[in-house]
Structure 1
Amino acid sequence: MNLSIFFEPLNEDVFAHLKNPRTLGAYIERFESKFPDWRGADIALIGINETRGRSTEATDLPEQTDEQTPARAVRKKLYSLFKGAGRCQLVDLGNLRPGITLEDTNLRLKEIVEVLISHNTIPVLIGGSHDLEYGQYLGYEHLDRAVNMVTVDSSLDMTEESTAPANKKQLRQILMHEPNYLFSLSQIGYQSYLVEPEVMGTLEKLNFEAYRVGEVRRNLPEMEPVIRMADLLTIDISAIRHQDAPAYEPANPFGLTGEEACQLCWYAGQNDALTSFGIYEYDPALDPREVTAMTIATMIWYFVEGFYNRKNELNFSDKQFTKYAVAFNDGPDRMVFYKNRNSEKWWLEVEPLSADKGKRIVPCSYEDYLNAIKGEIPNRWILAQARIG
């Protein structure tokens, strides 16, 4: 497929300052005059300037140049960061050409994500409104299997109000989409006073997980197994406190720190199963000192570094895994855990309720194992079994 028809080339001026051959920008093949060979790349950067999802008005997308796109400011910062150790096979495909309608843009995004993940290239989507995660999710429809999604956001975008903008109801679109291929949805960093109780009730009925920002900050390592579950991850920049990322509306003084956001991106990069990553809602007009651009660039840097530290540890019959069985007096007869001796990450085997369903092995933490030893059934096991059926 000729992906170049979907993209605008980049303005060469943004790279004029790149003099140091040891920076990340020196290792990224980008779309200036010639479209890069993305098939040999591990990660593909994609700039998005589709913002109609923020408004309830059905207006045309205003004409904007590369200088005005969210990804331009991020690229300037990202390309100036020093490359980490090890190899680096990245391409920058340029900026996505928006469709005539918002729906057209989502369909274009679907095609792009589908093609890239089919060739084992991870798309990293930069900019645009958060409703575009729907197009990112649609890119998994061809896989003919259930997928796991994690979103980092200060609110849950599941409103039923017909007058609400698209970026406040895309999670409902995903849940209602047919065919339904969503196995799990986990929300990280929500703030209770920004979420309707009915929305939280819907999430609980579906046996999905949600973690308040306070829970995340108290025990950030517990988010690693949550993210390790994901096939796709999206981040709404409003999940980060205004001091560290001021370029979004409405301003929010509370949320994750920039460091915590980078740690989550490191977890995402290390996840062997994750195949697409999107950072949304950055508005460069609200970022005159480019603080948010630097925060996002650093988050992407940590994602890339995490990717090149993947352990390829999904073969549970491999000798690098130690198997532990925990017996129970009631409930399940026993619970099986796996620990990777190299990474020290833990996994949990979940038996289905129905005999015609297969068991699944899901990520967990050492704390889950300790709770099982005490006779407590981990909540992750209960929710996973309920979803399997």
Structure 2
Amino acid sequence: MNLALFFDPLADEAPAWGSTTLGAHAARFVDTFPDWRSADLALIGLNEWRGSAAGQPAASAPDAVRQRFYQLQRGTGPCRLVDLGNLRNGLTLEDTYLRLREIVAALLEHNTVPVLLGGSHDLDIGQFLAYETLDRPVSLSCVDARVDMAEEAGAHAEDTHLRRLLMHEPNFLFNFGQLGHQQYLVPTSVLAALEKLHFETLRLGEIRADVRQAEPLLRQADLVSFDLTALRWPEFPGYLPASPFGLTAEEAAQLCWYAGHNDQLTSIGLYGYRPDHDLLGLGAATAATMLWYFVEGYYHRRNETDFTSRRFIRYAVGLPGNPAKLVFYKAKRTEKWWMEVESLADSSVRRIVPCSYQDYLRAAQGDLPNRWILTQALLG
């Protein structure tokens, strides 16, 4: 597949980046399309806003973030990063979704992680649909101040896209995690629907109390969709209407680190940034730093997937009811926890899912962790 046909090259106006910066090491599409097949990560700029009520901003969101991102210092990893340029929009919004789907699917096939930047949040439709080609269940985690499941006639795609993902047929979604929503912005019927579907949610207040609670939800994800309007406006002035509440820049960067560090995750999208409202470039700097933490997290992956190896400690916890015991695994190096969930309906069906130390402590006290109950329901 000749991906170069779908992208506009970047302007050849790169400043004199220092030899230790990301800009000096990333292969950018200026004259020659980069070799994305041998890259670890591929940055894709998106300027599609037809799904947004506010319409197209005058400036290019991905280009504004790139200016800040490439000035940052290279981390500890090899930095096999390519920048494919900005995706050309389709004739219709649906065409853009399908174009994005094909490009993300091609990158996944070659084990290159797509990093999507810019555009309205509904572009995660194209990101999500790419996983249909994998022919296996996948898990999605979404960071957003709202839960975009509007049903009103005439609602814009950015307000309805999550409903479309959850109701997509054929259904290849195993699990969904919603993080960072503000309860006063979400109808109780929407949260009740997620609960009925046995999906896990983590409110903004819970993340603010302990950001580490978000790590297992992000570690379970194959793909992450991050609406940057989930950040508080004083630290991310890149959207309207402005909100004084939301994630801090540090918390958002921490979430991106968790996502990058996830061995299972194969794509991420950062959506919703509007540079027209970011007069001093603070929002661009925040988004660039979030990208940096994702890339750095990626190069700190430990490939912790073989639970039979000596890199894990296995704990069996006895329980008074059914099941009679729960099995946990703890990685010696990173101290991350996993929990084995065996289907009560069919013992041959089991899944090892990310969990927290608190889940282990709850089981040790004789109680079933809520994460076990939700996963059991999903196993059917």
Instruction: Give TM-score scaled by structure 2 length.
Output: 0.98
315-324 vs 88-97, greater mean Cα deviation: 315-324
Q: Secondary structure at the match of 1:52?
A: coil
Q: Tell me the residue number matched to 1:322.
A: 313
**Equivalent residue in structure 1 for 2:19, among 18, 21, 24:** 21
Q: What does the per-residue CA deviation read over 1:130-154, in whole Å, with 9 as the maximum and x for residues that have no partner?
A: 0011110001001111100000000
Residues of 2 paired with 1:369 and 1:246: CA distance? 40
Q: Which amino acid aligns with 1:210?
A: T
Count of residue correspondences: 380
Deviation at 1:353, TM superposition (A): 2.9
Native 8 Å contact 2:226 2:269 kept in 1? yes
Native 8 Å contact 2:17 2:23 kept in 1? no
Q: Secondary structure at the match of 2:174?
A: strand
Answering whether residue 262 of structure 2 is matched by residue 264 of structure 1, we say: no
Q: What does the per-residue CA deviation read over 1:51-105, in whole Å, with 9 as the maximum and x for residues that have no partner?
A: 0111399xxx79x7xxx31011100000000111231100000000000111000
Q: Secondary structure at the match of 1:140?
A: helix
Residues of 2 paired with 1:327 and 1:9: CA distance? 59
Q: Tell me the residue number matched to 1:288.
A: 279
Residues of 1 paired with 2:283 and 2:119: CA distance? 14
Q: Which amino acid aligns with 2:195?
A: E
Deviation at 1:163, TM superposition (A): 1.3
Residues of 1 paired with 2:21 and 2:100: CA distance? 29
**Equivalent residue in structure 2 for 1:135, among 126, 129, 145:** 126
Q: Tell me the residue number matched to 1:11.
A: 11
Deviation at 1:342, TM superposition (A): 1.1
Q: After superposition, where does 1:1-389 map in structure 2 within 5 Å?
A: 1-13=1-13, 15=14, 17-55=15-53, 68-355=59-346, 358-389=349-380
Native 8 Å contact 1:18 1:80 kept in 2? no
Native 8 Å contact 2:77 2:296 kept in 1? no
Deviation at 1:162, TM superposition (A): 2.0
Q: Which amino acid aligns with 1:327?
A: G
Native 8 Å contact 1:56 1:166 kept in 2? no
What is the percentage of aligned positions where both structures have the same residue?
Answer: 54
> 5+ residue gaps in structure 1?
none
> 5+ residue gaps in structure 2?
none
Native 8 Å contact 2:17 2:71 kept in 1? no
Q: Which amino acid aligns with 2:85?
A: G
Residues of 2 paired with 1:234 and 1:18: CA distance? 33
Q: What does the per-residue CA deviation read over 1:314-365, in whole Å, with 9 as the maximum and x for residues that have no partner?
A: 1111111111100011131100000111111100000113217610000001
Deviation at 1:30, TM superposition (A): 0.5
Tell me the C-alpha RMSD between the 2 structures: 1.3
Q: Which amino acid aligns with 1:221?
A: R
Q: Which amino acid aligns with 1:314?
A: T
Structure 1 outlier segments of 4+, above 2 Å:
none
Native 8 Å contact 1:46 1:124 kept in 2? yes
Native 8 Å contact 1:190 1:213 kept in 2? yes
